[in-house]
Structures are given as structure tokens and as C-alpha cells.
Structure 1
């Protein structure tokens, strides 16, 4: 019977050792889980901050793009109006030269005849 008692004691010691190893592995796994949960929380916090920052940048970008479009429209309208002014100036100059020529002809003495 003492041989059975010794065997039982050996099994008991091995069982205790296995249980202690399992507990140790569980504690290590628990520590790793806690670390990953902390990292997850940090990452979620960073994502929230970056998402808010991205939203602000997108809003600013949209405002700036709208302002640029206003600049483009104003520049195009101004250039078109300026081109019309140039065309009108050219037309006016042409008309003025023609009229000046007509006035010069009208005021010239005719064929050298005097009255």
C-alpha cells in the first residue's frame, strides 16, 4: 500500500505542478491581454483625434477650394471685361482715325482754287 501511496503522492505533485504551470500561463496571457487592451484604447483615442483633425482639414480645404473657385470666376469675368474694353478701344481708335481723315479731306482747299 505504501507503493500506491507513493504513486499517489507523485501524481498529486505532478497535478499540482501542472495546475501551477497552467495558472502561470494564464497570468502571462492575462498580462498580454491587458497590454493589448491598453494599446487598443490608445489607438482608438489616436484614431478619434486624427478623425477630428481630418474633419477640420476637410472643412478648411472645402472653404479654400470654394474661395479659389470665386477667385477663378472673378479673374475670368475681369479678363473678359478687359478684353471687351480693349476691343472697344480698338474700334474707337479706328473710327476716330477714319473720322479724322474725313475731316482733313473736308477742310482741304479744293484743287488750289481760291474764291
Structure 2
């Protein structure tokens, strides 16, 4: 009987050790889970902040692109008008030279 009591005690000791090992592994896994949950929360926070920043940058870009398009249109219209002024000036100069030449011949 003493032998079965000793065997039972040995089994009990092994069971307790196995349970303690399982608890240790579970606790380590729980610690890792907490760390990863904290990291996940930080990443989600960073994503939210970056998403907000991206939206603001996109909005700013859209406004600046619209303004640039307005500048492009204004520059194009101004250049076109300036070219018409130059053409008119050239035509006026030709007419003036012709008239001046005609006046010189009359005198």
C-alpha cells in the first residue's frame, strides 16, 4: 500500500507541476495578448489620425488645384488678349506708316 501511496503522491506531484506549467504558459500568453492589444489600439489610433490628416491634405490639394486651374485660365486668357493687342498694334503701325508715307508724298 505504501508503494501505491508513493506512486499516487508522485502522480499528484506531476499533475500539480503540469498544472503549474500550464498556468505559467497561460499567464505568459495573456501577457503577450495584452501587449498586442495595446499595440493594436495604438495602431488604430495612428490610422485614425493619419486618415484625418490625409483627408485634410486631400481637401487642401483640391483647393490648390482649383486655384491653379483658375491661374492657368487667367494666364491663358491674358496671353490671348495680349497677342490680340500686339496684332492690333502691328496693324495700327502698318496703317500709320502707310498714312505717314502718303502724307510725305503729298507735301
TM-score past 0.5 threshold: yes
The equivalent residue for 1:22 is 22
**TM alignment of 1:25-44, pairs within 5 A:** 25-44=25-44
Larger Rg: 1
Question: In structure 1, how many angstroms separate the alpha carbons of the residues matched to 2:54 and 2:101?
Answer: 69
Detail structure 1 runs of 4+ shifted over 3 Å in the superposition. Answer: none
Displacement of 1:10 after TM fit? 0.1
The two structures have a TM-score, normalised by structure 2, of 0.97
More helix by share: 2
Q: Which runs of 5+ in 1 are unaligned?
A: 108-115
- Normalised by the length of structure 1, the TM-score is 0.91
What is the alpha-carbon root mean square deviation over aligned residues?
0.6
Distance of 2:104 and 2:93 partners within structure 1: 16
Moved more, 96-105 or 36-45: 96-105
Counterpart-to-counterpart distance in 2, 1:93 and 1:50: 62
Which runs of 5 or more structure 2 residues have no equivalent in the other structure?
Answer: none
Structure-2 separation of matches of 1:85 and 1:69: 24
Distance 1:42 1:103 in 2: 89
String of CA shifts for 1:72-114, please: whole Å, max 9, x gaps. 110011011001101100100001100111122122xxxxxxx
Query: How many residue pairs were aligned?
Result: 107
